[in-house]
Amino acid sequence: MKNKVVVITGGTSGYGEAMARLFTEKGASVLVVARNEVRLSAVTQALGCDGVAMDVTEYDAWLRLRDHVMKTYGRIDVLINNAGGGVAIKNVECQTKTEIDAAVSLNLNSVIYGCSIFASVFRAQKNGTIINLSSVCARHCWPAWSVYAAAKAGVLNFTKGLYTELQSDRI
């Protein structure tokens, strides 16, 4: 991973932070993306990597991120769409429109936005790796997890379709 450019969303805790740590230790230039600026600052300082504060549910923020990555690094080798969360784990009839929209936006739309924005960069490079993290909820369901599960199942199937679109360019 030496000299590779890796962008990780949701990189200030859990899997995201662990991946940022591992890629940094392996010599990659890591850019952690997260909403919480305090946690972002703490992680980037601790790991010695870069960070960008942004809301992954905002399409225009993805455009700015792409421009920043290309200006700063000149390329991207790995995009890891890790940001996600339960938002509102309760029966669907108890969820508000705002909660439903937020869950789908965070867990599915953000992944599609990132892939859509960076696909042209990867195509131009003729290589790259996109990793979209989903959940066991993409294949199994439990009470109160229906909206989250629907979004994560969407990530799984979106990723399968994306692979068929990009594989000819070694992505």
Contacts of 88 (CB under 8 A, 6+ apart): 95, 96, 99, 100, 102, 103, 147
Is position 15 annotated as part of the catalytic site? no
Catalytic residue chosen out of the listed positions 59, 73, 113, 148: 148
As a whole number of angstroms, the distance between CA 52 and CA 7 comes to 10
Residue 124 exposure: Cα atoms within 13 Å on the Cβ side = 9
Residue type (1 letter), 73: Y
Catalytic residues: 148
